[in-house]
Amino acid sequence: MKGIFYGIGVGPGAPDLLTLKAIKALESVDVIIAPKTEKKDGSVALSIAYPHLKKDFEIVHQVFPMVKDFASSPESWKKNKEQILKLLESGKNVAFLTLGDPMFYSTYIYIYRLLRDEDVEIRTIPGVPAFCAIASKLQYPLVEGDDIISIVPATASPEKIEAALSASDNVVLMKVYRNFSEVVHMLKEKNLAKNAVMVSRCGLPDETVNEDIESIEQMPNYLSTILTRRRK
Amino acid sequence: MKGIFYGIGVGPGAPDLLTLKAIKALESVDVIIAPKTEKKDGSVALSIAYPHLKKDFEIVHQVFPMVKDFASSPESWKKNKEQILKLLESGKNVAFLTLGDPMFYSTYIYIYRLLRDEDVEIRTIPGVPAFCAIASKLQYPLVEGDDIISIVPATASPEKIEAALSASDNVVLMKVYRNFSEVVHMLKEKNLAKNAVMVSRCGLPDETVNEDIESIEQMPNYLSTILTRRRK
């Protein structure tokens, strides 16, 4: 029998934020596909999954060229696809792990696209996104009533960020890093700086929380998220 | 010893989308606070929690006046608060359950506000939001790369909805119901109708999925969500 391909959201980083469904899937997995140039993200996901995996599970490393070049690197993606199909055909259950939710800014989306037109059973298991975990931890209500919330990567163009800030009551800003002072300036202009809170390296031992983002002078860590709202 | 107040996200509706952390909290709960005029939502949350609760847990029903009148009904909210504080002082662990995530459009936010300035230990446990579960189920990537996503209750004003649709690449529209044809019209104008998919009563036995929202003639069920994106 052919194996199943799983996209598993392991949640935001805390091992106890795994769902029962994710655990059940992990217990059936034979092979984990992991990026060759493993970023911190990937190894955190694997360490969360680890206690639930079979003793003899295998890791298959694959090269995922920058996702922006998805269309321009058909060869390496094709190679990855063929390797995965071979594993599935040999009856192995194969999984790709995602921190947070797999349908939310993840490499899994590209692997899913690669496989969706093949004769493969794909099961995607949702997870708790990081911004929900941050909100609960800081007891920061994300959105209520008829309010509109936008989730904005700070890597988007300034024009797009500005338009989203104008159109939203509440905002989650992700990947706040290089353009930090520009982002703070925009938040101030849109009356969104006062109630903002920034979390860096959430859940990690050196996590920091800052409730006065206008006072921050250093460039924040790469893994920084701002939650904000116009109304108190 | 005083009890702890828990806000517990039980996930989108499937019992196996509970997290380990939510289960552990449920196991320690003595009292569940539930709205007196129980909507379907509340009883679904309770039925998910039920297998993990102590055999002798109590339900305390409270009246929550419409959340929009939060400020104008101080008396009933004050009564609720005093009842909860009494339970906590008697050493009982008290919980309020939320479908999805507790910091995301939930009554819990109001109860949390009621208690946050009191001498009470509050623990909020995040959950998988419904839109993540819908996306995984339909294998519909929510957002990728530098794209911006907005989560928009269709109960917001048409002007606000329109501004959010213009400013976003991808959109989750919740509570699509009374103004359904108006919403579809706006999505068409903003070039967001073609890739849209609508789910009604997700996870329930009479769930429906519709990938051609322009063809829908009947008013959809109250529990309907549209996922959409500008790019294919």
Tens-digit pLDDT profile for residues A100-144: 999 999 999 999 999 999 999 999 999 999 999 999 999 999 999
Whole-angstrom Cα distance, residue A120 to residue B139? Answer: 13
Strand order of the sheet with strand A4-9? A58-62, A31-35, A94-98, A4-9, A121-125
Instruction: Give A115 to chain B, closest Cα distance, Å.
Output: 12
Interchain pair A150, B167: CB under 8 A: yes
Whether the CB-CB separation of A164 and A47 falls below 8 Å is answered with no
Low-confidence spans in chain B with pLDDT less than 50: none
* Beta strand pairing call for A208-210 and A197-200: antiparallel
Residues of A whose CB is below 8 A from B141: 103, 109, 112-113
Instruction: Examine the pLDDT at A207 and tell me if it is beyond 70.
Output: yes
Contact between chains at B156 and A135 (C-beta distance less than 8 A): no
| Cβ within 8 Å, pair A103-B132 | yes
Q: What pLDDT is stored for residue A203 in this prediction?
A: 73
Q: How large is the ipTM?
A: 0.93
Which residues does chain A have within 8 Å of residue B105's beta carbon, measured at their own beta carbons?
143-145
Interchain pair A132, B126: CB under 8 A: yes
Residue B161: predicted pLDDT: 97
Q: What percent of chain A has pLDDT over 70?
A: 94
Residue A98 has pLDDT above 90, yes or no: yes
Q: Residue A41 has what pLDDT? A: 52
Whether residue A222 is predicted with pLDDT greater than 80 in this model: the reply is no
- List CB contacts (< 8 A) between B176 and chain A: none
**B-chain residues within 8 Å CB-CB of A71?**
none
Q: Is the pLDDT of residue A38 over 70?
A: no
Q: Which residues of B touch A11 (CB under 8 A)?
A: 19
pLDDT of A7 higher than 60: yes
Q: Do A19 and B133 touch (CB under 8 A)?
A: no
More confident residue, B27 or A202: B27
The DSSP-derived string for chain A is ---EEEEEE-BSS-GGG-BHHHHHHHHT-SEEEEESS--HHHHHHHHHHGGGS-TT-EEEEE----GGGGGG-HHHHHHHHHHHHHHHHTT--EEEEESB-TTBS-THHHHHHHHTTSS-EEEEE----HHHHHHHHHT---B-TT--EEEEETTS-HHHHHHHHHH-SEEEEES--TTHHHHHHHHHHTT-STT-EEEESTTSTT-EEES-GGG--SPPPSSEEEEEES--
- pLDDT band, very low/low/confident/very high, at A23 (cuts 50, 70, 90): very high
Contact B191, B179 (CB under 8 A): no
What is the distance in angstroms between the Cα of A13 and the nearest Cα belonging to chain B?
A: 12
d(CA B172, CA B223): 13
- Residue A102 is nearest to which of B136, B150, B157, comparing CB atoms? B136
In A, minimum Cα distance to B175 occurs at A146
The percentage of chain B sitting over the pLDDT mark of 90, rounded to a whole number, equals 75
Please judge whether A137 and B124 are an interchain contact, meaning their C-beta atoms are less than 8 angstroms apart.
yes
**Taking all residues of chain A, what is their mean pLDDT, rounded to a whole number?**
91
Residues from chain A that touch B103, judged by Cβ atoms under 8 A, are 132, 135-136, 140-143
CB contact under 8 A, B156 and A147: yes
Contact B173, B226 (CB under 8 A): yes
Is residue A230 over pLDDT 60? Answer: yes
Mean pLDDT to the nearest integer, A165-193: 94
Alpha-carbon span B71 to B68, nearest angstrom: 8
* Residue A125, pLDDT score: 98
Q: Please say if the pLDDT value at position A39 is more than 90.
A: no
* pLDDT reported for residue B58: 96
Nearest CB among B101, B144, B166 relative to A132 is that of B101
Residue A42's pLDDT is 57
Q: What pLDDT, on the 0 to 100 scale, is given for residue B84?
A: 97
Tell me the pLDDT tens digit for each residue of A71-87: 666 788 889 999 999 99
pTM as predicted: 0.94
Of B67, B124, B137, the CB nearest to A139: B124
When pLDDT is averaged across residues A41-68 and rounded to a whole number, the result is 86
Comparing alpha-carbon positions, the chain A residue that sits nearest to B102 is A136
